[in-house]
Amino acid sequence: MSRLDLADVSPIAEEAPLLDVQGLTKLYGGRVGCEDVSFQLWPGEVLGVVGESGSGKTTLLNCLAARLEPTSGTIHYRMRDGEMADIFALSEPRRRLLTRTDWGFVHQNPRDGLRLSVSAGANVGERLMAVGARHYGAIRAAATDWLDKVEIETQRIDDLPRDFSGGMQQRLQIARNLVSNPRLVFMDEPTGGLDVSVQARLLDLLRGLVRDLGLAAVIVTHDLGVARLLAHRLMVMRGGEVVESGLTDQVLDDPQHPYTQLLASAILQA
Binding site for other proteins (CB under 8 A): 2-6, 8-10, 12, 42, 45, 200-201, 203-204, 207, 229, 232-233, 246-250, 253-254, 256-258, 261-262, 265
Angle between helices 120-130 and 136-149 (to 10 degrees): 120
Instruction: Quote the least distance from Cβ 250 to other proteins, whole Å.
Output: 6
Instruction: Quote the least distance from Cβ 2 to other proteins, whole Å.
Output: 5
Greatest extent of the chain over all pairs of C-alpha atoms, in Å: 67
CA distance 27 to 190: 25
Instruction: Quote the least distance from Cβ 204 to other proteins, whole Å.
Output: 4
Instruction: Quote the least distance from Cβ 24 to other proteins, whole Å.
Output: 20
3-state secondary structure of 92: helix
Q: For the CA atoms of the chain, what is the radius of gyration?
A: 20
In the complex with other proteins, the residue whose CB is nearer, 46 or 157, is 46
Paired with 74 in beta bridges are 22
- The helices-and-strands tally (H runs, E runs) of the chain is 10, 10
At 213, the amino acid letter reads L
Pairing of strands 19-28, 103-106: unpaired
In the complex with other proteins, the residue whose CB is nearer, 94 or 258, is 258
In the complex with other proteins, the residue whose CB is nearer, 15 or 92, is 15
Yes or no: say if 135 and 167 are a contact pair by the CB < 8 Å rule.
no
In the complex with other proteins, the residue whose CB is nearer, 124 or 203, is 203
Instruction: Quote the least distance from Cβ 243 to other proteins, whole Å.
Output: 12
In the complex with other proteins, the residue whose CB is nearer, 159 or 223, is 223
In the complex with other proteins, the residue whose CB is nearer, 3 or 80, is 3
Instruction: Quote the least distance from Cβ 194 to other proteins, whole Å.
Output: 13
CA distance 34 to 27: 7
